[in-house]
Amino acid sequence: MTDYKGIQGVSIQSVASDPTLDEGQIWYNNATYAIKLASVTTAGTWASGGALPSARNGNPGGAGTQTAGLAFGGGGPAGGGAPITTTSTYNGTSWSDVNSLNTARGYMVGCGTQTAALIAGGNPAATELWNGTSWTTNPANMNTSRSALGASTAGTQTATLAFGGSSPVIASSESWNGSSWTNTPSLNTARRGLSGLGTQAAALALGGYPVVTTTESWNGSSWTTVNSMNTARGFGRGVGPQTAGLAFAGYGPTTPTYNGATELWNGTSWTSNPNSMGTARYGLGGLGNQSAALAYGGYSTTWVTTVEEFTGPGSPVTKTITTS
């Protein structure tokens, strides 16, 4: 009978741990006694991650990557969702609480990395900077105090864009250069509870409350209304660059009022991902990108500690070969 070596001309490699993936590669894991194959996903998938140390909603801020993340602020169950100062780091498996924010806040903006992050808004106009160990309050406040705003979540500690929010509902935008905020042209549609993604020079504003599908694109000087989302939502999350964005979860529009719908943006239009989140919710935090995102906390009948990790379509995955 023809075997693998007879077909391929080489034997299956035997290793103690799974190698760096290359599509089509096959090997034997002698630690788990399994033959495995490297493949790619055809649709994005959500899987459980390490739970937060404490439940929170209020769209906690986020910075970093799926394996080196930072979550901060939001609202806790105590006091019916009152703003909190909690800051936690994620290593791809579990969370650790670290030094807290100086000002408790929820529904604010956050961006950067696990070692150099920015937070602003969330009712107070104060700006805080994270250096990998602690938060420092920056003397430069936002020009307009606001909460439930959107931001270029792929921005950095020294360059980001904030837009919309409630004070009451507004359309104004502001740009951060590392030391001060400058007013920039406003959104075409004023809204709160919207999500944002992209960078300071190339951002996307999506959704919002009252629940809408509206999407606007920022080119560094002005906003343009572009193709709408497939699922109307507010208080969801968006991550990634302007040309490859990911939107997930949110409030509305059907009963129950929270959803786990996931959509991918290709720079022109939104496509609904066939796999929704395991836990439908709104008011959650998010970080990462279209290939590897992290969703944490939120409200789903109650405040949750639930964390989910997203693996985007076309990403390498390991499959175990079985007889079935």
pLDDT in tens, 220-251: 999 999 999 999 999 999 999 999 999 999 99
| Global model pTM greater than 0.95 | no
Gyration radius (Cα) of the chain, Å: 21
Query: Helix or strand or coil: residue 8?
Result: helix
**Mean pLDDT within 129-149:** 96
CA atoms within 13 A on the CB side of 285: 40
Q: What pLDDT, on a 0 to 100 scale, did the predictor assign at position 36?
A: 66
Domains and their CATH numbers in the chain: 4-40 (no CATH), 45-311 (2.120.10.80)
Q: How far is CA 179 from CA 130, 140, 200, 223, in A?
A: 14, 7, 14, 24
Query: Under a CB-based contact definition with an 8 Å cutoff, are residues 104 and 73 in contact?
Result: yes
pLDDT band, very low/low/confident/very high, at 11 (cuts 50, 70, 90): low
pLDDT digits (tens, 9 = 90+) for 265-315: 999 999 999 999 999 999 999 999 999 999 999 999 999 999 999 999 876
